[in-house]
Amino acid sequence: MTSSSAAQGVRWNLTDLYRSPDDPQVEIDLSTALQKASEFEKKYRPLLEKPDVLNFPAAAMMSDYQAVLNLSARLGSYAFLSFSEKTDSAAAGAFLQKIQTRLTAVQNHLVFLDVLWTKLSGDEAEKILLLPEAEPYRHYLKNLRVYAPHTLSEPEEKILAEKANTSARAFARLFDETVHGLTFAFEGQNKTESELLALLHSPDRETRRKASESLAEGLQKSTRTLNFIFNRILEDHRLEMKLRSFAHPMTARNLANETNLDQITGLIRAVKKNYPLAQRYYRLKQRLLGLEELFDYDRYAPLEKPAGVISFTECREIVTEGYRGFSAEAGKIAGLFFEKNWIDAELRPGKRGGGFCSQTSPEVHPYILVNYTGSLRDVMTVAHEIGHGIHQVLAGRRVGILECAAPLTLAETASVFGEMLIFEKLLSREEDPRKRLVLLAGKIDDNFATVFRQIAMTDFELRAHEAGLLSGELSEETLSGLWMEANAELYGSSVKLTQAYRHGWKYIPHFIHSPFYCYAYAFAQLFVFSLFSQYKEKPDGFAERFFEILSLGGSKKPEAIARIAGLDLNQDGFWDAGLSRLENLISEAEELARQTGQL
């Protein structure tokens, strides 16, 4: 078994959504969604234009609204997943475009709700929110009111929705087709992006170096296209800032995450203040690897050659056992993803790179995409995405489609926690100090990628948006320079950044699909460190509290959800507790290195 065949044949079964793009039910559901949306507008527009605030049918309105959203989510998810499994397929791309266009027509019948609700006076809105039947929807409706200063007129909102299919969404699709359609020359073979990125974790330094150079060469060939795409995303973002009166490039993301600039600035400042921790670790890793200099392609090098490829069957056992050890219910839900073929794990050309868990509709279930090569890191990726799946299943059951999606800052909670569960399970089985050090170093690598690297990526993204505000379209040289500056600040003299690393910004999907997504990873990792400490100190009853947090999805503000665990996100020094755990991991690695005579 090779890394390329470790999950061969492991593909998802999308028939719980639709049998195929030609399934007659697709057209039936598209027509039904449009009809329901049209009827919704006819029924509730007059009631919002002149509301009887004491007798407003809030429950009926939101129930009918959710019916349209559930149907739209099923259709949109199927089109997205079908495209993700074969981004090189013209038919899949055309199907995605068709569904997006048809769903925009549906959405245009729903726009009035957001617009008219945000235009109500504060007194009118408050009286409706106080109605008993509005209670289940209170948080959702109150949160919509936050967008009042940024909501345009209804005709303008409809135009923007229509144009999104030929602007931001179109360039996101072009990005996917470009990056995931690339092949990279490596030792006489053509590798996919996922295969090449996996080689950066090879124990052989020459393999890592060649993989890094091959990645750069492949991206360089598409630099003009990728640079154009990124600039169009930056420009689209600037236009949104202008039209919606957003004061800062991160405002839109912060509103969606129910956070604020001060809180996120505090997170970024705390992490950057601790960049010396990262540099301390990379100097340790340089010594452990016996290298005179640590280059960027050495950062994820394992301390020793892995024992072998971990089959997907083994991965399944490790992950489900880890979740089952935490909670029988968690283990049961995790098992469903494997048993019911809700995971697409095999490597193949044209498939989207990386990994994700797609929410779909609460009436169905989530789906997971990973590119599994049989490494321990890939096992952790599966554990991560399964955590998302558990989160989404629990929230979907309880709060439905309106609020089952947690803000990005909390959406990573279960996934990061799941990774920690599986890691602790593996570490507990190992008594040999050398092997414990190998495992620990791998986990530190991942934690640093989640905290420090994601903040460096956020820093680069912010620099790019701010530079675009000042100068308009940015050259590839400018963007690569900003990328190197942000990363040089992180790594200092502990890691030597090569010329090949200048291309690192070009294949990051979050910059294109979800601007300023990246800080959510650091937020979640540090938040979960605090949760995990509670679990280790007082495991009794923790699973119940944790499931309560997950089942709430996005139905409460992050601060309120954190308080369930006794945590205060606004407390001075909140992030320092998680960062201290990172320092403890480094100290533990240094102690193990001393025990094994390597330090």
DSSP string, 204-245: -HHHHHHHHHHHHHHHHHTHHHHHHHHHHHHHHHHHHHHHHT
CA dihedral 567, 568, 571, 574 (to 10 degrees): 40
- The CA–CA distances, whole Å, from 125 to 56, 142, 233, 520 equal 11, 9, 35, 31
**Joined tokens for residue 204:** 């052989």
pTM for the complete prediction? 0.90
Residues in the chain: 599
Q: Measured over all CA atoms, what is the biggest interatomic distance in the chain, rounded to whole angstroms?
A: 78
Partner residues linked to 442 by β-bridges: none
Q: How high is the pLDDT of residue 573?
A: 87
Residue pair 184/196 in contact (Cβ under 8 Å)? The answer is yes
Structural Rg of the chain based on CA atoms: 24
Q: How high is the pLDDT of residue 421?
A: 92
Q: How high is the pLDDT of residue 379?
A: 94
Q: How high is the pLDDT of residue 157?
A: 93
- For 568, counting Cβ atoms within 10 Å of its Cβ (0-12 exposed, 13-18 middle, 19+ buried), the class is exposed
3-state secondary structure of 167: coil
Partner residues linked to 125 by β-bridges: none
Closest CA to 484 of 465, 504, 506, 468: 504
Q: Which residues of 288-304 are buried (b: 16+ CB within 10 A; e: fewer)?
A: bbeeeebbbbbbbbbbe
Q: How high is the pLDDT of residue 31?
A: 98
Q: Over the chain (599 residues), what is each successive 10-residue block's mean pLDDT? A: 86 97 98 98 97 95 97 98 94 96 96 96 96 96 95 93 90 93 91 90 96 96 96 97 97 95 95 97 97 97 89 96 95 97 95 93 96 92 96 95 92 92 88 92 93 98 98 97 98 97 96 96 92 90 94 94 90 90 95 91
CA distance 469 to 512: 17
The side-by-side arrangement of strands in the sheet containing 367-369 is: 343-344, 367-369, 356-358
- For 149, counting Cβ atoms within 10 Å of its Cβ (0-12 exposed, 13-18 middle, 19+ buried), the class is exposed
Residue pair 336/162 in contact (Cβ under 8 Å)? The answer is no
Region class of 311: left (phi > 0), else alpha (psi between -120 and 50), else beta: beta
CA distance 19 to 168: 29
Q: Residue 141 contacts by C-beta under 8 Å, 6 or more apart in sequence?
A: 58, 117, 125, 128, 129, 134
CA distance 556 to 564: 11
CA distance 56 to 48: 9
Closest CA to 444 of 387, 343, 525: 525
Residue in this structure with the two tokens 């009809």, named with its chain if needed? 35
Q: How high is the pLDDT of residue 354?
A: 87
Identity of the amino acid at 427: L
- The CA–CA distances, whole Å, from 160 to 157, 211, 466 equal 5, 41, 23
Q: How high is the pLDDT of residue 180?
A: 86
Q: How high is the pLDDT of residue 2?
A: 82
